[in-house]
Amino acid sequence: MSSMGGISSEKIFDSACAFAVTEELILHEIRSDPSDWLAVSLAVNGAFSVELSLKCLLFLETGAIIKGHDLLQLYQALTRANRDKVAQHYDRLLKRSCLSRIAPPPGMTALKLDIQTVLATNGSAFERFRYLFEAMGDGQSGYWGIDVVGHAVRQVILELQPAWIPRLPDKLKT
């Protein structure tokens, strides 16, 4: 177990999983009630789960707590090997997801779902969406793909820490 000043990689992982479970519950609920309010909660929980997952992976790599909330910067701070692993898992999971089959409505461009765009787009979800009355935006600025990034980062963490697999909540097992 990696730890520093009472903070452990396991605690970071558990926190990331807590927000990911909330994200999954909201995603399930949004299928029956596609309100903007639920979409905002989904985006914030998804982005925060990914932020904590990336910070957990960085903590495992460096033993240090990395400050900041920019998802793309956190991803780019990973070692090249772990960035490549996350990207490979992301690409594989994206192909299996419904996002890979969504055709844009007439007159709209297709969503950009490469991992760097998804991280950059969702990286400021908390700042943009923390107040629900500020939640409306353009179609690309929302949630698209961040759940897939979360699964990919958790997969790399679990490859490094296979003893944590039983810690993974059932709702997050893919």
Domain residue ranges in the chain:
3-100+110-172
Indicate the pLDDT class of residue 32, thresholds 50, 70 and 90: confident
Supply the DSSP string of 103-126, one letter for each residue: PPPTTSPPP--SHHHHHHHHTTHH
Task: Tell me the pLDDT tens digit for each residue of 42-60.
Answer: 888 899 999 999 999 999 9
Can you tell me the distance from the alpha carbon of 96 to that of 164, in angstroms, rounded to the nearest whole number? 24
Average pLDDT over the chain reads 83
Please tell me which residue, 148 or 5, carries the higher pLDDT value. 148
Q: What b/e string do you get for 49-71 counting C-beta neighbours within 10 Å, with b at 16 or more? A: bbbbbbbbbbbbbeeeebeeeeb
Q: In the structure, what pLDDT confidence band is assigned to residue 17 with cuts at 50, 70 and 90?
A: very high
For residues 145 and 94, is the Cβ–Cβ distance under 8 A?
yes
Mean pLDDT (whole number) for 66-87: 95
Non-local (6+) Cβ contacts of 52 within 8 A are 12, 13, 15, 16, 19
Task: Considering only residues 171 and 133, tell me which one the structure prediction assigns the higher pLDDT.
Answer: 171
Contact yes or no for 65/59 (Cβ under 8 A) = yes
Confidence band (pLDDT; 50, 70, 90) for 71? very high
What are the CA-CA distances from residue 30 to residues 33, 43, 72, 87, 119 (Å)? 5, 12, 26, 27, 22
Lowest pLDDT segment from 9-18, 25-34, 100-109, 133-142: 133-142
Give the CA diameter of the chain: 54
